[in-house]
Amino acid sequence: MIQKEGDLYHLICGICGEHESFNGILEAVEYKKNCGWIRRGRDDGDGWENLCPKCYSIHRWRKKVTQRQNDTIRMGDLMLDWNVAERRLEACEEVAGDFALRFAIKPLRIRFDAGERTAELYNEIMGIAL
Ligand SMILES: [Zn+2]
């Protein structure tokens, strides 16, 4: 998880403790994506942890690569940017410390991963309060 402390968000490696701090959750998620951090399910099954690129390569833990279509889709007057939606979904998951929020987000993640790209899902993801 990304830990929130005051106004800062800390991205912390679950293995070595390496960390980076950010002013916003979306910034932290963007950095994570761009700098080769990965997320994996925790061994105890409770959520997930983030791994820095160093630990990722040492442990050779490989993420199942799924081909995702994250294109921007126009639906009438509405532009659905699924890259933005995915960042937001991930940001929500990262700050979803409490069970209720995780419970609310999980069905959205399942629909997203299953390839649903509807305006309804998009609006639901973008409508989650961060
Ligand atoms: Zn590490």
Collapsing DSSP states into helix, strand and coil, what is residue 49? Answer: strand
- 26 Cα to the center of ligand 1, angstroms: 21
Model confidence band, residue 67 (pLDDT cutoffs 50, 70, 90): very low
- 78 Cα to the center of ligand 1, angstroms: 40
Domain ranges of the chain: 2-59, 72-126
Q: Could you tell me the pTM of the whole model?
A: 0.61
Query: Could you write out the three-class secondary structure of 52-98?
Result: CHHHHHHHCCCCCCCCCCCCEEEECCEEEEHHHHHHHHHHHHHHCCC
Q: Identify whether the C-beta of residue 83 lies closer than 8 Å to the C-beta of residue 70.
A: yes
- 59 Cα to the center of ligand 1, angstroms: 10
Tokens linked to 130: 């961060």
Q: Name the helix (H) or strand (E) containing 20.
A: strand 19-22
pLDDT in tens, 13-66: 988 899 999 999 999 999 998 888 988 877 777 777 898 988 877 655 444 444
